[in-house]
Structure 1
Amino acid sequence: MLKFVKNYMDSIAGIEIYPIISLLIFFTFFVVLFWWVFTAKKDYINEVSNIPLDNQKDQIS
């Protein structure tokens, strides 16, 4: 089974670029996320973190 898959993948032209592209997308996403976390304003983080608590107060009243 594995030999069949390997032979099938070898027959596809240009397939070696797909792992490189997926790695670049993965790496870029986490670099951007890391940058956003460290540059986000603390007031915004506190406001967003309190949304579930504020929502519960509205449902009780």
Structure 2
Amino acid sequence: MKFINYLQSISEVGKYPLTSLVLFFLFFAALTIWAFKADKKYISNMKDMPFQGDDVV
């Protein structure tokens, strides 16, 4: 049995792609809003974090 046959057996399977698209868009929008509202010092600190330590891996 092919995979598409399994999907066709699920009732209202068409809602899943729309739901995943909406969730992705909401996450992306929230992350974009957070990036613009975040404190610039915090962003700079996170950007430079890998270079602050004296440990060599």
Instruction: Tell me the TM-score normalised to structure 1 length.
Output: 0.74
Pick the aligned partner of 1:35 from 16, 33, 36.
33
**Compared with structure 1, are the counterparts of its residues 13 and 59 closer, same or farther at alpha carbon in structure 2 (3 Å cutoff)?**
same
Give the aligned partner of residue 50 of structure 1: 48
C-alpha displacement of 1:59: 1.6
Unaligned runs of 5+ residues in structure 1 are none
Report the residue type matching 2:55 in the other structure: Q
- Return structure 1 stretches of 4+ with deviation > 3 angstroms: none
Give ranges in structure 2 of 5+ residues lacking alignment: none
In the other structure, the counterpart of 1:59 is 55
Percent of counterpart pairs with the same letter? 37
Question: How much has 1:24 moved relative to structure 2?
Answer: 0.6
RMSD, aligned CA: 2.1
Question: TM-score of the superposition, structure 2-length normalised?
Answer: 0.78
Aligned residues: 55
